[in-house]
Amino acid sequence: MNTHHNAETTDLPWRKDAPKARRAAMELYSWREPGWVFMIAIAGALLFVGLAVLSPALLSLMPTVDLIAPIAEARAVMSGEAGLADHEAPLYLLLLIGADVFVDAPGRVHLIAKALGAVLIFYPLAFLSSSRFPAIFAAVLTIAYSAFVVSPFAGIEEIGLALLLVAALSFVSVSADESLSRARIEGAIGGSCLYGLWLVNPAFALVGFAVLSACPFLTGRYGLWRYVSALAAFAILAIFFELIAFGINVERAALASSSINLAMLFNGSESGLGLGGAAYAAILVIFVSAVFGGHAHRKNWMAAFVILIAGMFAARVTGANAMPVFGLAAGLACFSVASPFYDGLFKAHDRASVSVALISAALAMFWTFSIIIHSVGQFSLQHQVTAKAPENIRAELALVQPGGPTIAKWVEEGRFSTPEAREFFALTPVDQSAMLLEAASRARQLTAAGVDIAFLTGADTACVLAESRNCRADGTAAANAANVVFVPRLDMDPKTAAAKGKAEALLYTQFKMVERTALWEIWVRRDAVVPAKLFKISDAGMYR
């Protein structure tokens, strides 16, 4: 009876072989020598790093002052005018300092900084994934993360999320050739990424520590060693940075409680659940892995679930784009060394098991590869906008911003006669760029005549745009040390408005206004010797 029953069962259509589908699945599930996979992944990732390094200008929708401010802060730290510990994201400040060695234009400084950030991510990711995943997925995953970080619209939040996912991969999964030495090395890599998260945003680090707590339970017999190595690497880096920037860890700890913005969990942004298709696909792959793997493969689908939850939570509370979370979570459930789908492909490869393995692999590959496509689209848009961007903005700032001068141009043309009328309209990024370049042109003339100048903005933007002097801690500090101060008549951003209010007493007691344009007021220190011919004095009563 049993023999007859088994014969009938094997004759069922869904239990028959599917050789073509199995061959397709085997291509996605095929492993290669880790060394070669590592090299291929690095080579692919470097292509996107090259796109960032060679791009003539950065496409951005951010206010121009917000793009220039971090560069001024980085230069202020290098000159000793500001402390590294006081910055909101010291790691990105260090990347900007490194990029500032190679280029000067603000947009290109950010491009190079993101390229350096990508190197910090794709190198350890390639090392980890080459022994954890099949060749195709390992390479695509590494390339996708590099593309994600260097994309024109990516910021420090995206760098932090990518670092978190690399650390999580080290903490909750094991390689195909797991050994004590490798566990220690990978634990140190994860701990180093964890300290990098501490310097990006303490919220990322807190999530990373939560994932680390699962390490001894999900990473096999060497899980405790991996855990200890991660903590040791974090402690060593904490001591090192404390020596070069005293108080940095205390400052980061003080920010920890306020860095997690739980209100963002329920907003309607695209950062997390708004990416419905990717999220549902990842959840589906993890669910199928749990059903097919059962108790025997619980560490595999549990690790994928941990990465999914941790990544989504971190992306939501920090505002990062959550797209890379879903590809990694689905890929870990589908392709890791503990994946249950290998049994269906290598042992009982009937149509049902092959189709499930193939669909799961296709979903993981699709959402990972879509990150690359999205990045390519951003670079393509950057190229198109560059061709139409105002020449002066592109050449001097290395920035390209959609649209053209609007409010600033209208004010200059006299369409708004009162400050109250201007308050109804917000400056576009192009407006800000046009304003800053107008002031920079005048400021360079004054600098050539030996006059110390400052822009009264939130950061010391004058040192980036108009002078080669050391940057001050902020625009107010620069105004205190300058003989000529440019005060914007339009509010560029909240920090600039605050700087104007803070310096109002200084201006009216120690300076006198000598010129007013449609966009700027120029103030001269009362006891300074400045040639009057450098100003267009329209009202003799101003210069008194």
Q: Does 261 fall in a domain?
A: yes
Q: Does 422 fall in a domain?
A: no
Structure token pair of residue 313? 């939570």
Tell me, yes or no, whether 35 and 172 share the same domain: yes
Q: Does 6 fall in a domain?
A: no
Tell me, yes or no, whether 239 and 129 share the same domain: yes
The pLDDT profile of the chain, 544 residues, written as one tens digit per residue, is 444 444 444 555 655 676 777 888 888 899 999 999 999 999 999 999 999 999 999 999 888 999 999 999 999 999 888 899 989 899 999 999 999 999 999 999 999 999 999 999 999 999 999 999 999 999 999 999 999 999 999 999 999 999 999 999 999 999 988 899 999 999 999 999 999 999 999 999 999 999 999 999 998 889 999 999 999 999 999 999 999 999 999 999 998 878 777 766 666 555 444 467 888 999 999 999 999 888 888 999 999 999 999 999 999 888 899 999 999 999 999 999 989 988 877 776 678 788 888 999 999 999 999 999 999 999 999 999 888 888 888 889 999 987 655 555 555 555 554 454 445 455 778 888 888 998 999 899 898 888 899 999 989 999 999 877 889 989 999 999 999 999 998 778 888 888 888 899 999 999 999 988 888 999 999 988 887 777 876 543 444 4
Tell me, yes or no, whether 358 and 250 share the same domain: yes
Tell me, yes or no, whether 101 and 28 share the same domain: yes
Q: Is 544 exposed, middle or buried (0-12, 13-18, 19+ CB in 10 A)?
A: exposed
The pLDDT value recorded for residue 131 is: 93
Q: Does 437 fall in a domain?
A: yes
Tell me, yes or no, whether 377 and 438 share the same domain: no
The pLDDT value recorded for residue 12 is: 54
Tell me, yes or no, whether 96 and 191 share the same domain: yes
The pLDDT value recorded for residue 426 is: 59
Give yes or no for a contact between 271 and 319, defined as CB atoms under 8 angstroms apart.
yes
Give yes or no for a contact between 171 and 219, defined as CB atoms under 8 angstroms apart.
yes
DSSP output for 314-331: HHHHHT---HHHHHHHHH
- Write down which residue in 352, 383, 414 finishes a domain: 383
How many helices (H) and strands (E) are present in the chain, helices listed first?
26, 6
Q: Does 512 fall in a domain?
A: yes
The pLDDT value recorded for residue 296 is: 83
Tell me, yes or no, whether 376 and 456 share the same domain: no
Q: Which amino acid is at 30?
A: S
The pLDDT value recorded for residue 265 is: 65
Tell me, yes or no, whether 330 and 434 share the same domain: no
Tell me, yes or no, whether 19 and 124 share the same domain: yes
The pLDDT value recorded for residue 245 is: 92
The pLDDT value recorded for residue 159 is: 96
The pLDDT value recorded for residue 429 is: 82
Q: Does 256 fall in a domain?
A: yes
Total tally of structural domains belonging to the chain: 2
The pLDDT value recorded for residue 19 is: 73
Q: Does 505 fall in a domain?
A: yes
- Write down which residue in 324, 352, 383 finishes a domain: 383
Radius of gyration of the chain (CA): 28
| Nearest-angstrom CA–CA distance, 63 and 52 | 20
| Nearest-angstrom CA–CA distance, 314 and 206 | 9
Structure token pair of residue 358? 């193939």
Q: What is the DSSP letter of 413?
A: T
Tell me, yes or no, whether 24 and 165 share the same domain: yes
- Write down which residue in 383, 417, 437 finishes a domain: 383
| Nearest-angstrom CA–CA distance, 300 and 438 | 59
| Nearest-angstrom CA–CA distance, 122 and 145 | 7
| Nearest-angstrom CA–CA distance, 22 and 26 | 6
Tell me, yes or no, whether 317 and 464 share the same domain: no
Tell me, yes or no, whether 449 and 352 share the same domain: no
Q: Does 71 fall in a domain?
A: no
Query: Residues near 229 by Cβ (< 8 Å), separated by ≥ 6?
Result: 183, 184, 185, 186, 187, 188, 191
Query: Residues near 355 by Cβ (< 8 Å), separated by ≥ 6?
Result: 18, 21
Please state the pTM of the whole predicted model. 0.89
Domain of residue 233: give its range: 15-54+88-383
Give yes or no for a contact between 81 and 471, defined as CB atoms under 8 angstroms apart.
yes
